[in-house]
Structure 1
């Protein structure tokens, strides 16, 4: 989840673009647009969704591993193996 106002704004803007691309793709299918054009639109939509996923994953990683401002004691209290396993579980889910 993007936490800062700037991150939230970027995520919402990406979602609005995705929504617009999906609506345009729906219209193109209804109008009988040729397959080449549909494939280009689908690729653009997939790219936009992947971009959003990358931003959210970035936020998740920063939340999971903390920032450079954290104290050494706080970082040492965490189990790195558990954090890595949680991250890998998340990645496996979304990279299917």
Structure 2
């Protein structure tokens, strides 16, 4: 996954923000916050996760599917991995 290493710091910042959002959801539930606030926090966290997923999917597609130096077998493996991730996400 060396292609992710080039953006590692940015990805880790996103993950840490998401972790903070999840903690905010937990704190809201523990403090009996109203459901509107909790819904807003969950929706924002989901959006952040979707953004992270999109970024990693794009990096995977560019490196393991569309890269011009790949063999047909490497492309097939890249597509299979991508489709597997999409299937898991959509469940």
Q: Normalising TM by the smaller chain, what interval?
A: 0.7 to 0.9
Deviations 1:35-78 (A, max 9, x none): 011000000011111111111111111121243xx4xxx45x41
What TM-score do you get using the length of structure 1 for normalisation?
0.76
Moved over 3 A (4+): none
Higher normalized contact order (CA 8 Å, seq sep 6+, divided by chain length): 1
**What stretches of structure 2 of length at least 5 have no aligned partner?**
none
Q: Quick one: which of 57, 73, 76 aligns to 1:82?
A: 76
User: Could you say which structure has the larger radius of gyration?
Assistant: 1
Equivalent in 3, 6, 14 of residue 5 of structure 2: 3
Matched, 1:92 2:87: yes
Q: In structure 1, what is the Cα distance between the partners aligned to 2:51 and 2:79? A: 23
Query: 5 Å matches for 1:1-96?
Result: 1=1, 2-4=4-6, 7-67=7-67, 70=68, 74-75=69-70, 77-79=71-73, 82=76, 85-86=79-80, 87-96=82-91
